[in-house]
Structure formats: C-alpha cells, structure tokens
Structure 1
C-alpha cells in the first residue's frame, strides 16, 4: 500500500513582486508548478500553498471543507505579507480561481487571474469530481476492496454542500473586485465555464478586465495543449498590471 503524504508548498523567491498560485479542488500544487517556474524565471516571486487534506486519503480529505481551504489561501497571503511582499497578485484554477476572487474581493491585490472558475455547479456535479478523485486514490490503497460510492456520497455531503455555497457567495460578491482581472477558460471544458467567466466579467467593477478562451485546453488549464500561449498571456498581464520594475 502506498503511503500518501501532504504535498509541500512551492516557494520560489525572486523580486519583491509576488504571485500567489492556488490549485484546483482534489488536486495539488503540481497544477501550478510549471507556471510558477515560468513566472519565477521572469523575475516573479511565486508561492503555491497546499490545501488541507489534498493529496491524502479520501477519508482524510473529507475531514475538510472550503472554510479550511479559504483559511489556507488567506494564510498564504498573510505569509507573503509577513515576509515583506507589499505587491501581491493571485492566480487560481477552478477552486483556486474562487479563492483568488475572494482574496481580491477583500484585500489589496494588484491583479487577479482566474482560470476555469465554477459557478452554479450542482452538488451532483461536484460529487462526480470527487468520485474520480476517490477512484484515482483507490488504485493505490486497498485495491482488493471495492470502492463504496454510496458511503462516499454520504460522507461527502457536508463538504460538497459547503463548496456549493462558498462558490455562490463568492460569485455574488464579484462587484467588490476593482483590481485588474483576467478571466480564462478552456474551450474543451464544459460550456458552463465560459458562462461563468462571462458572468464574473459582467459583475466585477474593474476598469481593467479581460476575458479569453483557449481552443485546445480543458479544465486544468495550466496543463493543457495551449500552455505556451497561456503562460505568455499570463506573463503579459502581470507585466502590465503587476510589473517588476514599478
């Protein structure tokens, strides 16, 4: 049986311009590793925290909710502030996008980049994502025991309902956002994510806002076939609104 360990955060120090990178639900900092290294190479300090329970067993994972992951994101922001970084941008994918939006709603963020932000995802849709995660983990643990999906659904009910409510509350406060914002979605992803990006675009109060799609990219945008174009666009946006030489 493979022993699972909490993934370590990624911290790459460079200039005084910091970028906080927030990964997806059921995923790890691996989502953001290539992007962090790319931005670091171009002079940005990059920090990608690991959320509680992620990368661990499904039972351990279900001990946590979006309240815990919001605390993880807030703690990561505070860590950068406490280390003297006065200019911070945030980048997130999926759940990380929602956490990025909430940080930008409540704190002085230089720029926000949101990828694959969900909106109005049903608890059933969320459970399908969790089911895939549980099946993936099951390959490494107790492979001779059948995965009990009904038991999993019952155990996950509190977490998934909290997730649904957290997303809805964050999107409803999008008008609080005034920082420059870049909203991205993959055309190979569910069409829902295009409408979600458009909804956020329409409701933020940013005077500097952009929206863009990527034709060969799915949900985990940082790992898609448009990666080179995506990374270049993100760098251009940061250089414009979160410049190292400012």
Structure 2
C-alpha cells in the first residue's frame, strides 16, 4: 500500500529576483511546480513548499489551520530575506492566493499575483473540498473503513471556521496592498471567483494592477489549458515590476 510522505520544499536558484509560490487547499506544491520550473528557466529564483499537514492523512491534516500556514509563509519570506534577496514576488492559487494577498498586505513585496482567490468561503463550501480530499485519502487507509462524513464534519470544524475567518480578515485589509498586483481567474471556474477577482482588483490600493480572465481555465489555472499563455503573462508581469532577471 502506498505511503504518504510530506513533500520536501522546492528551491530553484536563479538570479537575485526571488519568487515565492503558494499552492491550494488540500493539495501540495505540485499545483505550482510547473510554473516554478518555467520561471526558473527564465532566471528567477523560486521557492515553494507544502503547508503543514498537506499531503498527509486526515488526522494529521486537521491538526493545522490557516494561521499555521500563514506563519510558514512568513518563514519562507524571511528565508529569502536572510539569503540576501531584496526583490521578492509572491504568487498563489486559491488558498495560496489568499496567503499571497495577506503577505502583500503585511510585508514589502515587489509584485503579487493572485489566481482563483475566493472573496468568501463558507464552512460548508470548504467542507465540500475537504470531503473530496478525504475520499482521495481512503486509498491509503490500512483498515479501509467507510468514510464517516458526519464525523469528519465535526472534527474539521475548528480548521474550517478558522479558514472562513482567514478569508474575511484578508479581504478586509486589501486596501493595504500597494505592490503591483495581478488578479487572474479562469472562466470555467465557479462564478464566485470571477466576482472575487473584480472585488480584489477594485479594493487594492496598487497604482499598477491588472485583471485578466482565462477562457479555457478552471480553478487550478496553473495546470489548465491556458497554461502557456498564463505562464507568459506571469513572466511578463514579473519582468515589468522586478529588475531584469
């Protein structure tokens, strides 16, 4: 039976321009790995990691919440600072987009790119995603017990409630973002994400900002059919707002 192992961080060294890439909820940095490799091929130094509990069994996963993952993002940012990087961009998708926006609200950032960011997510919405993850994890269970959705819902409440609050607090502070920011969304995603992209675009204080839709992309834009043009757009945005890599 396959065994789950927490992925080691990915550090791709390039130029003095650094990019932190942040993945989605219940996933790992595989969401953003192709983008990191692409940007590194264009000389950017890229770093990504899997949040605590991600890629592991449900009991371990539920030990953590967005506040823990936020602390890990701060640690990653400080890692770049300690390594001497002064131009730091952050890119995130879904939960990673929320964390990216919060980083731009809280620390000096050279550029922020948000993909598939939710303006709002209820506990029920989040649980739908979590239950799918639980179903996926069933293949790794040694006892092959039937998944008890009601029990999972109760156990997941602390994490999901803190996630809901994290979304709210991040959205409330968007006006603190002054860094150049790109807000991107897939037209095949839920309508909420298009609405959210426009809300974020309107609320941020950045004088240099862009918003763009990708017609053939769903939620995980980095792995979608528009990947080629998406990656080029991201590269161009970074090239515009960071020193030439």
For normalisation by structure 2, the TM-score amounts to 0.98
Query: Are residues 1:78 and 2:78 paired?
Result: yes
Query: Are residues 1:58 and 2:48 paired?
Result: no
> Aligned-pair distance for 1:120?
1.5
| In 2, Cα distance between equivalents of 1:14 and 1:42 | 8
Residue 67 of structure 1 corresponds to 67
> Aligned-pair distance for 1:86?
0.7
Query: Are residues 1:109 and 2:90 paired?
Result: no
Secondary structure of 1:125's counterpart equals: helix
**1:88-110 Cα shifts (integer Å, max 9, x gaps):** 00000000000000110111100
| In 2, Cα distance between equivalents of 1:131 and 1:144 | 16
Query: Are residues 1:192 and 2:192 paired?
Result: yes
Counting matched residue pairs gives 245
Residue 167 of structure 1 corresponds to 167
Residue 47 of structure 1 corresponds to 47
| In 2, Cα distance between equivalents of 1:239 and 1:229 | 15
| In 1, Cα distance between equivalents of 2:234 and 2:143 | 41
Residue 139 of structure 2 corresponds to 139
Residue 238 of structure 1 corresponds to 238
Secondary structure of 1:139's counterpart equals: helix
Residue 33 of structure 1 corresponds to 33
| In 2, Cα distance between equivalents of 1:120 and 1:36 | 27
Contact kept in structure 1, 2:4 and 2:140, CA below 8 Å: no
Secondary structure of 2:169's counterpart equals: helix
Contact kept in structure 2, 1:16 and 1:244, CA below 8 Å: no
Secondary structure of 1:30's counterpart equals: helix
Secondary structure of 1:78's counterpart equals: helix
Contact kept in structure 1, 2:90 and 2:113, CA below 8 Å: yes
| In 2, Cα distance between equivalents of 1:169 and 1:103 | 13
Contact kept in structure 2, 1:15 and 1:45, CA below 8 Å: yes
Following superposition, which runs of at least 4 residues in structure 1 exceed 2 angstroms of deviation? none
Contact kept in structure 2, 1:49 and 1:73, CA below 8 Å: no
Residue 209 of structure 1 corresponds to 209
> Aligned-pair distance for 1:169?
0.3
For normalisation by structure 1, the TM-score amounts to 0.98
> Aligned-pair distance for 1:77?
0.5
Contact kept in structure 2, 1:11 and 1:47, CA below 8 Å: yes
> Aligned-pair distance for 1:243?
2.9
C-alpha RMSD over aligned residues: 0.9
| In 1, Cα distance between equivalents of 2:90 and 2:49 | 12
Query: Are residues 1:15 and 2:15 paired?
Result: yes
| In 1, Cα distance between equivalents of 2:143 and 2:66 | 29
**1:104-152 Cα shifts (integer Å, max 9, x gaps):** 0111100000000012111100000000111011122247310111111
> Aligned-pair distance for 1:244?
2.6
Query: Are residues 1:152 and 2:155 paired?
Result: no
Residue 179 of structure 1 corresponds to 179
Unpaired segments ≥5 residues, structure 1: none
